Structure 1
Amino acid sequence: MSSFRRLACVALFLTTACSAQAKIFATPLLAEADELLSTSPEQSLDITERYLDQRRLSAPKETSRVHITDETDHSIRTPLSTVNALQIKAKAESQLGQTKKSLATIKLAEQLATKENLLFSQLESRLVHAAIYWDNLKNSAHALELLDKVEQQISAGKNLMMASQIQRLQYQTLMQRAVIKSSIGEESSAEKLFIRAKRYLVNLDDTKELIHYQRVLGEHYLKHGHFDMALDRLLSSYWMAVDNDDKAQTAIANFALASLFEQRKVFDKALEHATQAGEFFERYRRTLPLAQTLALIADIYEQQGRYNLALVHYFNALDQENQLQHKFRSAQLRLSIARVYLQLYNYPKAEQYLQHTRLLANQSGNEAILAEASLLQGQLELAEGNLDKAVPILQSGLMTASRIGDLDLQLDGEHLLSLAFEQQKDYYNALLSQRRYEQLFSSKEQAQVRSNVEVFKQQQRMLERSLHLEELEREQFESEKALYKQKNVTIFLFCVLTVGGMVLLSRNRTAKQLQARLHRLRTDFYTHPRSGLRNLRMLTAKLPSSLQQSSANFEQWHLGEIINEPLSDRLRFALFEVPFLKHIYLTHGYQQGLDLERAFGEYLNQQVCEPARLYHFSDAMFLYIEPNSRLDSAPEELAHSLQQLIDRFIGQRKIDNRVRIGMAEYPFLPRAYTAINDHELLDILLMATNTARDLSKQESGSQWVHLSAIDAAPAASFASDNFRRACTQAIDNGLIKVQSSSAKEINWSNDHASDTNA
């Protein structure tokens, strides 16, 4: 039973420090103090006291349900931070055995939280209050009463707290209640409370709380003899604590595992875990758990028959307990030392420590120690041969053990009493004691059988879950296999789409480059470099041979093939020469000439609107094309319009405003629409414009010449290798009508005089 008490003391010593790890503090000082609770409560207490002394309490900026506040001013502390500091201080005082101070501090925290309407902090403080009553005073009634009040306040204040706060409070309340119920023997109630607490634990998603839960549940199973389930939980807690580098919880789990292995007589493993726990407690100077660990190691050595080592560790543990001035634990250690001296046949020393044990037990009022001391005293009297003293002492101890319901002590008492009666030759009473011993042992075995049945059922459930898990793993493997195939298909399709996307992106980039190139062709090659108008001359001169054909096709598209219009559309063409463009560079210079020609091109581009078209044919010559809107009008109207166009541009400029215009219609032959192509039509216009230029040299001012074939003109008249000569002959034969702005007779023979074929 001593192992259970030690385990409970060590667990309760560090439970408070290890169960609130997820809390967030407004200042790093309080976070550090809370962290030190598990290793150095003295430092934690010192930090919180300095925090409370050096800072003044300020009024809160606002009431908040959230446990985070801003403390930018290091000279003040908010009410919320003050409550948190008082909670940490109370926990540290509780761990150091300062029970009265701890209770006063936590009551002050409750009062401040109530005053400032900090409901969550108030309930937290009340939970700490209940933990102090149970951990330090073992007052289960008052602790459970405080927990009842917390549950009532949680139900009443659900609208004032966040869901996460409510879940944490409910979890901590259920865990404290489960620990108390387990300690007072209500195993079934404790089991149900642990199950309820686990539901809230899942929502908390807190690894430290999960480690704490597994360990406390393992201690519960250990306390009630369910060793297999205890081993499973404690090992789970231990390895989780190791993985998360939680040294405090690792030490507690080590101590619990040592107690478990000690009870199962696996002494090597018990020593291993107890030694690891002792190293932690000694390193951080944790007197109470170190004393408990040393006592456990001494118990193991005693059961192994290594009594000298056992005495050394008992004395070391006693030195630690003397510092704490805890009468119950000191009495327990002295009783153990007396038992070892009895095994070593050192009866005077055994008697000496038994007297000290009974004195401390009477002062503390612990009947379990008194019963065990009486039985050990009776055993000592038996060893010394004082049968008359041994029997009443053993009977007194047995009655006390029966009254407190300690089955192990009753078994020891009946066994010793049977031996005493047997040595007195009182075989009847010896037999009665032996039968009572067998009855108690039988009831203990039945309890053990029931426990084994529960363990078997638990193992059965675990096996069923294992089989189910294997099936799920097989299904998972199949699913992963199918998923792998699907993944490969997806990756392949993704690669194909990526490559396709890259190809499309490349083609799109190429198309944009070609569009930009086409735009440059339009701008650079198909517009006049000085005027900016569409150009009909030297269309492919700048292009490489590889682009000649595409340029020709583009030229046809861009120009509409000049005369390749629907037959229903009749067109009028005017090829006019502006002489001032020839002389502007000579008279005004190159730069002004460029500016003036560019301005003239922009002007013409603005004045000529769709569907009319204008092309820069050569340096000073322009081709104007308009639809049939003016075909019924006289040619001089078009010539007059062009003259006005030039005059408006010249305005006040002192430059030559003359214009030489050659005009013709398309189709040139009304009865043969396709007889004249675009190049031949340009020849006709060039002849007319050249004639107008000759007239302009003879007469001042602008001149125009209009050529048009008569309705009866046959197409065969123009079927010649020299089209200009054919036109001259047609004029001579009266097949082409000539209109002009001059009354002088026109001589057409010079137009082709230089032709070698003439």
Structure 2
Amino acid sequence: MFPRRWLIPYLFLCVTSLGAQAKIFTTPLLAEANDLLPLSPEQSLEITDRYLAQRRLSTPKETSRVHINDETDHTIRTPLSTVNALQIKAQAYSLLNQIDAAMQTIKAAEALANEHALTFSSLESQLIHARIFWENLKNSTLALKTLDAIDQQLTDSRHLMMDSQIKRLQYDSLMQRAVIESHTGLETEAEKRFLKAKRFLTELDDKPEQIHYQLVVGRHYLEHDHYELALDRLLSGYWLAVELDDKPQIAMANYELATLFEQRKVFDKALEHATQAGDFFEHYQRTLPLAQTLGLIADIYEQQGRYNLALVHYFNALDQENQLKHEVRSAQLRLSIARVYLQLYNYPKAEQYLHHARLMATQSGNDSILTDAQLLQGRLELAEGKTDNAISTLQNGLIAASRLGNRELQMEGEQLLSQAFEQKKDYYNALLSQRRYEQLFSTKQLAQVESNVEVFKQQQRMLERALHLEELERQKFDSEKALYKQQKVTVFLLSVLAITIIILLRRHRTAKLLTSRLMRLRTEFYTHPRSGLRNLRMLTVKLPNSLQQSSANFEQWHLGEIISEPLSDRLRFALFEVPFLKHIYLKHGYQQGLELERQFGEYLKKQVCEPARLYHFSDAMFLYIEPNSRLDSAPEQLANSLQELVDRFVEQRHIDNRVRIGMAEYPFLPRAYTAINDHELLDILLMATNAARELSKLESGSQWVHLSAINAAPAASFASDNIRRACIQGIDNGLVKVQSSSRHEICWNDDHVSDKNVS
């Protein structure tokens, strides 16, 4: 496998490692920016810039509270959240390959953390600084030097941090060291670091980080050609990610497995995993990993000899890389395109893309790509028959490959050089190149044999794990079967519940409809059809006993009994007759009379406010009830109020404004609240109103009559079946006081003495 293919998955692994560390942010904006780092560094950078610009840095009043990240006030940012924002911003710059900005930002984060004695945040910032040294600058010396300083500060500052924070920092430091040592060829040291980091990871109890750990170690074994160990680690990470439904890490595991299968020439499985990873990256518009996945798929198609499909995917990957402005990966893709065109015998196109790749590799200073390009140039010259040029180019490429220590490029170069010497019929040099190729291949095979010793030991564990997995599968099947039964029971119960709810909702809707209909009927029943006022109806007089009580209760619920009030309440009653309502129909006709009565009813509704009440008693008579806290108030005041009420209505209509008013108070007998009921009180009011009507025949204008029992009137005087006769006797005996608006003496009519003459 060519070294050019090591860079693509390795850079992808670096990108995903930025978001692998579990961290809690109390500010939602920063949490969102951190989540967006591996997805869209540009958007993450925009969020942090807006956060830092819109909020001012707070100054803690107490040094003991500098670690508190309370941001309930959205106009300020605490030192801790500011450091977190700068850390995210630096990582975004790192992913965008803006190294100077990343360095400047992370240094600002370190300075702010040190200024406010944020020990943990300071060490976190230094870890990010070390990561930038390695991932962006490939400067292992500065990265390891920074990690050494972090380990020293960890030893000196243990008392300032919690155990979980210390373990997190130690774990991150070990993982960074292991990755650097793995890439620089210190395989054994890297494996020791990974094992030590695993002990800290177990104590951290971080499931997503466990997935990330398995994938990083799997990637380490893959780079060092330990394919069985790599498969074990990558599959472990993959299934753990599936168990947690961690889709980003599932995609990452798919990519790594596709790389492994591609190197082992299992192209069908490689395409399957690469396609699944590509679907995820395309769906979430993750440009960088999508470009890498497309490049991997193109590599697979190229090795299968499906060159047209390979070119399509290489070009798609190149479009993505051009957007990201990654010159190294763009140069690598152009080199791959040139190699495909060479396979298709399109030498001008191969030369064109090879030239562009060499220019970009020269600008970026990537010796590996330059060496690969030089070998491909020799291969192109050999194909074009330029044997001497090919030999010279291939020899220069072999020297560069030896300087890099890249065994794969050396093997490719020796093989091509042997073909060139053979084409020139220099069989001796061709044989020497072939033997050097075989020596390199033997060295590679020997390393593979040494690796197989450890692999054999691992196979026993894998077999035991497989047996354990089979047992787990059986348990899973049993659990799924039980779950299926439970689901059926649950569905049945939910169906019954749904049907019950539907029935209850229908019953509720029907009850609501019937209630509204009943309210409408009650409103219509207790409303006068012409005036619209409440209509006082006495329904219980001639009803059967079976209906009389329910009807009485119904009336009391809707209106309240006329005088069934608390004993402490005093009420004043006025039954007044408006004569113009009798004559308006005769004078103006039915339609105008109906309209005028309706207007009069609406007018009275607006004028009479609670707690006063007004009922339409009969065609031209109205019953007015109001609280009477002062029993000694003159009845003339109420009469004048009612007269004024009618006057305001008729003043613009030029109609009769006369009013006949009969008045009384409740309690009619001050010494006996319950001696007179509502029916009897209405009879008294009718007597008084009729008396006012008779007075209006003697004198023009409105008249009123007020009846009231004296304070000493005994209740026994009114204990009679005929309240009218009892009231007239009370007047004769001086027990009932009569007040009137007229100077004429009131002559009580004989029809008031007895009701027996009324048919």
Query: When the two structures are superposed, what TM-score results if normalisation uses the length of structure 1?
Result: 0.60
Matches within 5 A, 1:245-394: 245-394=245-394
Q: Which amino acid aligns with 1:95?
A: L
Counterpart in 2 of 1:122? 122
Q: Distance in 2 between matches of 1:96 and 1:242?
A: 30
Counterpart in 1 of 2:132? 132
Verify the 8 A CA contact 1:418 1:433 in the aligned structure 2: yes
Verify the 8 A CA contact 2:48 2:88 in the aligned structure 1: yes
> C-alpha offsets along residues 703-730 of structure 1, whole Å, 9 cap, x if unaligned?
xxxxxxxxxxxxxxxxxxxxxxxxxxxx
Residues 223 and 70 (structure 1 numbering): CA distance in 2 closer, same or farther, change over 3 Å? Answer: same
Q: Which amino acid aligns with 2:186?
A: E
Note the C-alpha offset of 1:83: 0.6
* Correspondence 1:9 to 2:7: no
Secondary structure of residue in 1 paired with 2:19 = helix
Note the C-alpha offset of 1:150: 0.6
* Correspondence 1:24 to 2:24: yes
> C-alpha offsets along residues 585-638 of structure 1, whole Å, 9 cap, x if unaligned?
xxxxxxxxxxxxxxxxxxxxxxxxxxxxxxxxxxxxxxxxxxxxxxxxxxxxxx
Q: Distance in 1 between matches of 2:140 and 2:285?
A: 29
Note the C-alpha offset of 1:66: 9.7
Residues 463 and 250 (structure 1 numbering): CA distance in 2 closer, same or farther, change over 3 Å? Answer: closer
Q: Distance in 2 between matches of 1:77 and 1:255?
A: 39
Note the C-alpha offset of 1:287: 2.2
Matches within 5 A, 1:654-665: none
Note the C-alpha offset of 1:466: 8.2
> C-alpha offsets along residues 6-46 of structure 1, whole Å, 9 cap, x if unaligned?
1101111121112x22x222222212222222323222222
* Correspondence 1:197 to 2:228: no
Note the C-alpha offset of 1:264: 0.7
Secondary structure of residue in 2 paired with 1:138 = coil
Q: Distance in 2 between matches of 1:38 and 1:321?
A: 16
Matches within 5 A, 1:428-447: 428-447=428-447
Q: Distance in 2 between matches of 1:247 and 1:55?
A: 34
- Moved beyond 4 Å, runs of 4+: 61-68, 461-467
Counterpart in 1 of 2:60? 60
Note the C-alpha offset of 1:65: 9.1
Matches within 5 A, 1:387-426: 387-426=387-426
Counterpart in 1 of 2:217? 217
Q: Distance in 2 between matches of 1:92 and 1:167?
A: 25
> C-alpha offsets along residues 497-535 of structure 1, whole Å, 9 cap, x if unaligned?
xxxxxxxxxxxxxxxxxxxxxxxxxxxxxxxxxxxxxxx
Q: Which amino acid aligns with 1:138?
A: K
Q: Distance in 2 between matches of 1:65 and 1:384?
A: 75
Q: Which amino acid aligns with 2:419?
A: L
Q: Distance in 2 between matches of 1:181 and 1:66?
A: 37
Q: CA-atom RMSD, angstroms?
A: 2.1
Verify the 8 A CA contact 1:398 1:413 in the aligned structure 2: yes
> C-alpha offsets along residues 47-94 of structure 1, whole Å, 9 cap, x if unaligned?
211111111101125446996522221111110111111111111222
Q: Which amino acid aligns with 1:339?
A: R
Q: Distance in 1 between matches of 2:253 and 2:464?
A: 28
Residues 67 and 128 (structure 1 numbering): CA distance in 2 closer, same or farther, change over 3 Å? Answer: farther
Residues 286 and 466 (structure 1 numbering): CA distance in 2 closer, same or farther, change over 3 Å? Answer: closer
Query: When the two structures are superposed, what TM-score results if normalisation uses the length of structure 2?
Result: 0.60
Matches within 5 A, 1:248-647: 248-460=248-460
Q: Distance in 2 between matches of 1:466 and 1:389?
A: 55
Note the C-alpha offset of 1:286: 2.4
Residues 61 and 178 (structure 1 numbering): CA distance in 2 closer, same or farther, change over 3 Å? Answer: farther
Counterpart in 2 of 1:97? 97
Q: Which amino acid aligns with 1:17?
A: G
> C-alpha offsets along residues 232-266 of structure 1, whole Å, 9 cap, x if unaligned?
11111122222223222222211111100100111
Q: Distance in 1 between matches of 2:303 and 2:328?
A: 22
Residues 304 and 465 (structure 1 numbering): CA distance in 2 closer, same or farther, change over 3 Å? Answer: closer
Q: Distance in 2 between matches of 1:236 and 1:64?
A: 45
Verify the 8 A CA contact 2:57 2:76 in the aligned structure 1: yes
Q: Which runs of 5+ in 2 are unaligned?
A: 473-759
Residues 64 and 446 (structure 1 numbering): CA distance in 2 closer, same or farther, change over 3 Å? Answer: farther
Q: Which amino acid aligns with 1:210?
A: Q
The alignment covers a number of residue pairs equal to 470
Counterpart in 1 of 2:554? none
Q: Distance in 2 between matches of 1:66 and 1:212?
A: 33
Secondary structure of residue in 2 paired with 1:97 = coil
Verify the 8 A CA contact 2:415 2:433 in the aligned structure 1: yes
Q: Distance in 1 between matches of 2:31 and 2:460?
A: 45
Q: Distance in 1 between matches of 2:60 and 2:92?
A: 26
Q: Which runs of 5+ in 1 are unaligned?
A: 474-758
Q: Distance in 2 between matches of 1:208 and 1:344?
A: 45
Secondary structure of residue in 1 paired with 2:136 = helix
Q: Distance in 2 between matches of 1:92 and 1:250?
A: 23
Counterpart in 1 of 2:541? none
Q: Distance in 1 between matches of 2:168 and 2:184?
A: 25
> C-alpha offsets along residues 438-491 of structure 1, whole Å, 9 cap, x if unaligned?
111111111111111221122245557889x89x99xxxxxxxxxxxxxxxxxx
Counterpart in 2 of 1:518? none
Counterpart in 2 of 1:85? 85
> C-alpha offsets along residues 624-655 of structure 1, whole Å, 9 cap, x if unaligned?
xxxxxxxxxxxxxxxxxxxxxxxxxxxxxxxx
Verify the 8 A CA contact 2:67 2:118 in the aligned structure 1: no
Q: Distance in 2 between matches of 1:320 and 1:449?
A: 40
Secondary structure of residue in 2 paired with 1:137 = coil
Note the C-alpha offset of 1:214: 0.8
Residues 221 and 423 (structure 1 numbering): CA distance in 2 closer, same or farther, change over 3 Å? Answer: same
Verify the 8 A CA contact 1:65 1:160 in the aligned structure 2: no
Q: Which amino acid aligns with 1:113?
A: A
Residues 295 and 446 (structure 1 numbering): CA distance in 2 closer, same or farther, change over 3 Å? Answer: same
Matches within 5 A, 1:38-53: 38-53=38-53
Q: Which amino acid aligns with 1:415?
A: Q
Q: Distance in 2 between matches of 1:164 and 1:426?
A: 68
Secondary structure of residue in 2 paired with 1:351 = helix
Q: Distance in 2 between matches of 1:434 and 1:128?
A: 47
Counterpart in 1 of 2:481? none
Q: Distance in 2 between matches of 1:379 and 1:3?
A: 19
Q: Distance in 1 between matches of 2:194 and 2:181?
A: 10
Q: Distance in 1 between matches of 2:299 and 2:184?
A: 25
Counterpart in 1 of 2:207? 207
Q: Distance in 1 between matches of 2:206 and 2:176?
A: 18
Verify the 8 A CA contact 2:339 2:376 in the aligned structure 1: yes
